[in-house]
Amino acid sequence: MVKVRQRARRNRCHAGRARSIILAALLLCLILPCPAFAYEYYEDYTEIIGRTHSTYSIDLWHYSGGYWMGSDSNGRSIKITDRQMDAGGLYGAIGPGSYAKWTAAIPGQVAAEMRAGTRVTASVEGRADLYRDCFCELSGTSAVMIYAKPIFNIVQGLTLNSFVPGISVTIPLVHNTYGRNLYAMYGHFKTNLTAVGSFSQYAPWQVLGNAMHPSMIALPTGQLKDGYTVLIGGRQVASDGWSVGFFTLPRGGAVGLHFDFPVTLVFTAARTRKVWVDDEFFDRNIADADRPGGGGHGGSGTGWTGGGGNGSSDWQGGDGNGSPGSGDYGSPWSEDYGSSDQYSGFDPRSLRIHRIY
């Protein structure tokens, strides 16, 4: 009998404690506001994860058929007629014509991101004075294909003919910023060795180092003047006994043009990040997303519509007549709240909102 009474007393104590806990919980719910929903906020953005710089080149050699021809690094032929070259000399540039194609390697860290599933895009930072319509395409995770219509920049108003009269074909000069002239050299029982020229349109008569200069050519048949040291076939040699071509220069033979095309590739990754939003920003701009007539001073707008009499389209502020952008709180990024430093330039429309409960 005594044990029964003790058990009943313990049950009454436990029931009293449970009632106290429930009552305390109810009081807390009345005192503390409970949100109707909980959200997570995500923003999509891009990040530059790699950048490469490369210089590609195209060599054009003159042919007796009346044209200049060369190819890009992928073997695509590029052809410019003598008439096009003559016309380009009036403006200092030829082209753009056909596309050139170059191949670049994808940096290791970019390739690793791609293999991990990151969405990566590549773009070209080009120069308007070097090419038109320049774009690129990713080829797997190892290479980028670059396409461009190259512009061939030549010196305006001066040609090799200006220094060596008697040549029947107009031979342009390339300013050393854009490339250089090429010469096929013959002499001392050696044939077809390349000499590289260097010419400055700002100092036309200046001989730059051991590079070939038009003023070194004595005759239209191609013989060089004595007394110079010239880099021929990769070696410094005396100019005595050397000539441009073997009596082919008068018809425009044994001369070429080298053009450089620097290219910068930018690799960008698509990212998503969780965004922290403080209570005030939530209350004024996000909490009303699920309630009609949100924002500002009421009105009949829907969702993110600004306050005022007849709210205008979603996410816009409204005045009494419903025009955008003039309500107190109607346009959170363009009115009083949007001008704060913390949210300057931030558009709540960039958020992707995920309701947790």
Torsion of CA 232, 235, 240, 241, to 10 degrees: -60
Whole-number Å distance between alpha carbons of 256 and 259: 10
Alpha carbon 355 to its chain centroid, in Å, reads 36
Task: Please answer whether residues 36 and 44 qualify as being in contact, where contact means their C-beta atoms are separated by less than 8 angstroms.
Answer: no
Whole-number Å distance between alpha carbons of 92 and 205: 19
Closest CA to 85 of 98, 71, 72, 69: 69
Closest CA to 314 of 323, 304, 325: 304
DSSP classification of residue 1: -
Whole-number Å distance between alpha carbons of 245 and 249: 6
Whole-number Å distance between alpha carbons of 347 and 169: 62
Per-residue confidence (pLDDT) for residue 84, from 0 to 100: 87
Per-residue confidence (pLDDT) for residue 273, from 0 to 100: 81
Whole-number Å distance between alpha carbons of 333 and 193: 68
DSSP classification of residue 313: S
CA 29 to each of CA 15, 18, 22, 32, 39: distance values in angstroms, whole numbers, following the listed order: 21, 17, 11, 5, 20
Per-residue confidence (pLDDT) for residue 72, from 0 to 100: 84
CA 316 to each of CA 141, 146, 292, 309: distance values in angstroms, whole numbers, following the listed order: 43, 43, 14, 13
Q: Which two tokens stand for residue 226?
A: 């004595």
Per-residue confidence (pLDDT) for residue 342, from 0 to 100: 43
Those residues with Cβ within 8 angstroms of residue 57's Cβ, 6 or more apart along the chain or in another chain: 179, 258, 259, 260, 261
Per-residue confidence (pLDDT) for residue 280, from 0 to 100: 57
Per-residue confidence (pLDDT) for residue 69, from 0 to 100: 93
Q: SS in 3 state form for 55-69?
A: EEEEEEEEECCCEEE
Q: Where are the beta strands (DSSP E) in the chain?
A: 39-63, 67-71, 77-81, 93-94, 100-105, 120-125, 131-139, 143-150, 152-153, 179-187, 190-196, 229-232, 235-238, 243-244, 255-274, 351-355
- Read off the amino acid at residue 273: R
Task: Please answer whether residues 273 and 351 qualify as being in contact, where contact means their C-beta atoms are separated by less than 8 angstroms.
Answer: no
Query: For the purposes of burial, counting CB atoms within 10 Å of the CB of 69, is it exposed (0-12), middle (13-18) or buried (19 or more)?
Result: middle
Task: Please answer whether residues 203 and 234 qualify as being in contact, where contact means their C-beta atoms are separated by less than 8 angstroms.
Answer: no
Whole-number Å distance between alpha carbons of 137 and 234: 36
pLDDT tens digit at each of 357 positions of the chain = 545 455 555 555 555 666 677 777 666 666 655 554 455 677 788 999 999 999 999 999 999 889 999 988 878 888 899 998 888 876 778 876 788 999 999 999 999 999 999 999 999 987 889 988 899 999 999 999 999 999 999 998 899 999 999 999 999 999 999 999 999 999 999 999 999 999 999 999 999 999 999 999 999 999 999 999 999 999 999 999 999 999 999 999 999 999 999 999 999 999 988 776 655 555 555 554 444 443 443 444 434 433 444 443 334 344 434 333 333 333 333 333 333 344 444 455 555 555 544
Per-residue confidence (pLDDT) for residue 235, from 0 to 100: 94
Whole-number Å distance between alpha carbons of 62 and 258: 12
- pTM to 2 decimal places: 0.69
Per-residue confidence (pLDDT) for residue 27, from 0 to 100: 67
Per-residue confidence (pLDDT) for residue 49, from 0 to 100: 95
